[in-house]
Structure formats: structure tokens, C-alpha cells
Amino acid sequence: MHKLWLALLLICSLLTFAACGGAISPATSTEASSPIVHMDSTSFVQPSITIHKGQRIILSADTAVPHIIANGSWDNGAPKKLKEPGAPEVNDVQINGNSQGNIGPFTTAGTFQLYCTIHPNMQLTVIVQ
């Protein structure tokens, strides 16, 4: 009888450890579908991107040069800080060289401008559908 209880205890313990195993949870659909916008030393590789409501964008600095991203644009070489209605707050987000940063989510349809505050004329248009 003692051996039977010991065997049952061992089986229950093994099942408990197996159930608590290290399963990795999958990325959410928003994370998995976040498009990447690449940045070189002084510009966005693509000047605009179209995304769906609820998505984020990932900004990827592909060089060692840092960037500081904010709502707004460059106007004839002068920075113009402006947060359009419905745009996510992007207030001097620093993306160090060779790293990435998340912007968003963009929850409102429209056209929004982002720019790098330290690189003249470096701006990105985000079109949200």
C-alpha cells in the first residue's frame, strides 16, 4: 500500500512539473504585425508608411547614429513641432544607434507626421487606415 501511494505521488508530481513547463506565449497579433521603418544616419529609408488602426510601428536605427523622434515635421529646414489630433504622443523618443523603438499604437485613422529633431529634413508620414 505504501508503494502504491508513493507511485501515485511521483506520477502526480511529474504531471504537475510537466504542466508548469516553459511554454513560450506567442506574440500578440499587433506585435507580430508591427511594420519596421528603417533609419539610416540622417533619414528614414522610406518617407511614408501605411498601417491599420491599432498598429504600432517599429523604428529601427540601422547605423550607430542616434535619433530623437517627435510629432511634427520639417518646414523649409526649420523644425515644426505639431501633434495632430488622434496621433499618439511622441515626445522626443530617443532611439540610440543600432537599436529599435516602438511608436504607437495609432488608434485613429488619418495622416500623421513624425520627425527627427536632430537631423534636418528627416521626417516620416504615417498613414493610418
Who wins on pLDDT, 9 or 126?
Answer: 126
Q: How far is CA 90 from CA 41, 101, 127, in A?
A: 20, 11, 16
In a domain, 6, yes or no: no
Task: Report the alpha-carbon angle 114-69-72, nearest 5.
Answer: 35
CATH of the domain at 99: 2.60.40.420
| pLDDT computed for residue 2 by the predictor | 56
Cα 43 to Cα 19: distance, rounded to the nearest angstrom: 49
Burial of 49 (0-12, 13-18, 19+ CB in 10 A): middle
pLDDT in tens, 82-125: 999 999 999 999 999 999 999 999 999 999 999 999 999 999 99
In a domain, 47, yes or no: yes
pLDDT in tens, 5-31: 544 444 544 444 344 433 323 334 445
Q: Taking a C-beta distance cutoff of 8 angstroms, is the pair 54, 30 a contact?
A: yes
Who wins on pLDDT, 57 or 1?
Answer: 57
Containing structural domain, residue 75: 30-128
In a domain, 14, yes or no: no
In a domain, 7, yes or no: no
> pTM, whole model, 2 decimals?
0.75
In a domain, 116, yes or no: yes
Number of domains present in the structure of the chain: 1
Cα 124 to Cα 42: distance, rounded to the nearest angstrom: 12
pLDDT in tens, 42-90: 999 999 999 999 999 999 999 999 999 999 999 999 999 999 999 999 9
